[in-house]
Amino acid sequence: MFTGIVTDVGRVAAVTPRNDVRRLVVDSRYDPAGIAIGASIACSGVCLTVVAVEPHDGGARFAVDAAPETLALTTAAGWTAGTRLNLERALRMGDELGGHLVSGHVDGLAEIVGRDVIGETTRFDVRAPKPLARFVAEKGSVCLDGTSLTVNTVDRDVFSVLLIPHTLAVTTWGERGVGDRINLEIDLMARYVARLAEAGAGGA
């Protein structure tokens, strides 16, 4: 599990096809001694398993494998050498839950359809895939490219989020613009509430 609080911005160093799997090598500022083989790291919202790690340039260079389903459902298929990724280590018992509970299992790809500066914040308008739009609610939580954000407004399948300058500076959001596709994970609680409502309506 994760919280959607980005703790580093990594950079893809290499991408190597391995049959139907794609191996991604990522440079980070993490301490390599603290990363075990088999550990989970959220890469722009995608939970991936570390298969190799070594010290590199004062930080850690780690490798993960992206399976066919991951490549089909997330932005990972478009990652190339030089792509910057929002990174988060897996939540440990006792850690502060600063965002909201995030599984790292991306539900679908959303698209940025608007970006506007409003005072001290930047507003992003995001179009969710229609099957997922019903799970997005005003003042609810969403995870976009691994970042826990609060929904500001909702208009059918388009919702908005407001980002402060700090978030733009310490994540990849400063680079995002209209037309970009981003990884969307809906709030776990919204999913369960909707399922309970469906079960109740069906008499289950």
* Displacement of CA 34 from its chain's centroid (Å): 22
DSSP for the chain, written as a single string: -B-S---EEEEEEEEEEETTEEEEEEEESS-GGG--TT-EEEETTEEEEEEEEEEETTEEEEEEEE-HHHHHHSGGGG--TT-EEEEEEPP-TT----S--B-S---EEEEEEEEEEETTEEEEEEEPPHHHHTT--TT-EEEETTEEEEEEEEETTEEEEEE-HHHHHHSGGGG--TT-EEEEEE-HHHHHHHHHHHHHHTT-
d(CA 12, CA 65): 13
Helix extents (H) in the chain: 68-73, 130-133, 165-170, 188-201
Question: Which of 143, 44, 142 lies closest to 86 in space, CA to CA?
Answer: 44
Residues with catalytic function: 2, 40, 47, 49, 67, 105, 150
